[in-house]
A = this chain, B = another copy of it.
Amino acid sequence: MSSTKIRNMEEFAAVSGISRPTVSKYFNDPDSVRPSTRNRIEEALERYDYRPNIFAMNQNRKLTKNVGIVVPYLTDPFFAEIARKLEERCTLAGFRPTLYSPYGQREMEVEILDSIRSLKPAGVLLAPLGRASDHKAVESFCADVPTVLFDSDIEGVGEAFVGSDNFSFVSQTVEYLTRTGSPPCFFEMRTPANPNANKRRLAYIELMERHGHEPRVIKVEGEGWAFEQIGRDGALRLLESGGFPSDTVLCSNDRLAIGLLAACYEKGMRVGRGEGCALRVASHDGHPFSQFTCPSLTTASHDYDSVSDRAIATLRDLIEAGGRFDARTEMLYPANLILRASA
């Protein structure tokens, strides 16, 4: 390794005795140059370790390898997990992912989208904030940049949507709970940020009616993304004033359930399906921590792998199709019901 620092491709081309554009070709595809010149470049590479500047690379490229990934709230382990999987698969597919999160803030989502435009991305994977999104901004972004939505859908926006089939989630939990005990009440936030929550409530109501049971929806107060806190506070208030209308509670999502379990524990209310248990609790999402709650949480889990695989595959197809599909596609994956101790 020589001590002289190589500052750019020009300098590296000089020391390797090849013209810069040929070196450029090599870095974009080592097989695109003659074996003899490839050897010369790689020999120089060993002596001088140089790496092209990725941002300059993408400056004047027709099609970059950049992919933006946006999740609404990265400190939510659910989104962190799906982001990790997407990043991993994205890299394997030969793209260069960059991760963003607006942390629930409307203006920040808009800024991120603007920032992503500068990236000149080949494509974007976007899980929008939902209710808090600036819909016009998102729409105009998707009109300019090839985008696949995931997790939370905005009708007609983006070239495709890949997500989970909320009806399947609720159908499996309601069916299981009803079959093995009593029909559940539904525990949720009053004004959920995410459209999936609404779909789940509607599915719950429809399924309960279909089975001939009266749906009971419990809406707890609270805004924002501190779901566990909201779930616990709501459950505490409920337990102190009469309790739940059923011995079986189905939570809209696992984070609310985590809060609810904490409230039950505080109140000495045993949760589970064995004897001595006063309440059964199930939920939706397959949150990474759902297996470590007390008791461990029965949940209808996202098919993380399928969703992320499909999202990346769809994005790749979209990019290869030149950024536009003939028709907007929607891929919904059913849940995997994970039976644990809580129900």
A interface residues with partner B (beta carbon < 8 Å)? 51, 53-56, 58-59, 74-75, 77, 80-81, 83-84, 88, 98-101, 103, 114-115, 117-119, 228, 232, 258-259, 261-262, 265-266, 288-289, 291-296, 341
Contact = CB atoms under 8 A, between A and B. Distances in A.
A119 B75 contact: no
- Among A98, A99, A262, the most chain B Cβ lie within 10 Å of the Cβ of A262
Nearest to A103: B84
Given A99-B101, A258-B289, 8 more contacts: A53-B118, A54-B118, A74-B84, A84-B103, A98-B98, A99-B99, A228-B292, A294-B294
A30 to B, nearest CB: 17
Contacts of A101: 84, 99
B77 A114 contact: no
Contacts of A100: 99
A198 B341 CA distance: 35
A119 B55 contact: yes
Contacts of A258: 289, 292
A263 to B, nearest CB: 9
What 7 pairs between A and B have smallest CB-CB spacing? A294-B294, A265-B294, A75-B80, A54-B118, A53-B118, A262-B292, A228-B292
Contact of A232 (B59, B117, B118, B292): B292
Contact of A74 (B83, B291, B296, B341): B83
A80 B82 CA distance: 14
A314 B77 CA distance: 29
11 contacts: A51-B117, A55-B59, A55-B118, A59-B59, A74-B84, A75-B288, A98-B98, A228-B289, A261-B294, A262-B296, A293-B294
A212 to B, nearest CB: 35
B53 A56 contact: no
B288 A289 contact: no
A183 to B, nearest CB: 26
Contacts of A88: 103
A102 B155 CA distance: 34
A160 B2 CA distance: 29
Contacts of A56: 59, 118
Contacts of A59: 55-56, 59
Contacts of A103: 84, 88
A58 B53 CA distance: 12
A208 to B, nearest CB: 29
A54 B56 CA distance: 12
A154 to B, nearest CB: 21
Contact of A80 (B53, B54, B80, B98): B80
A63 to B, nearest CB: 16
Contacts of A289: 228, 258, 289
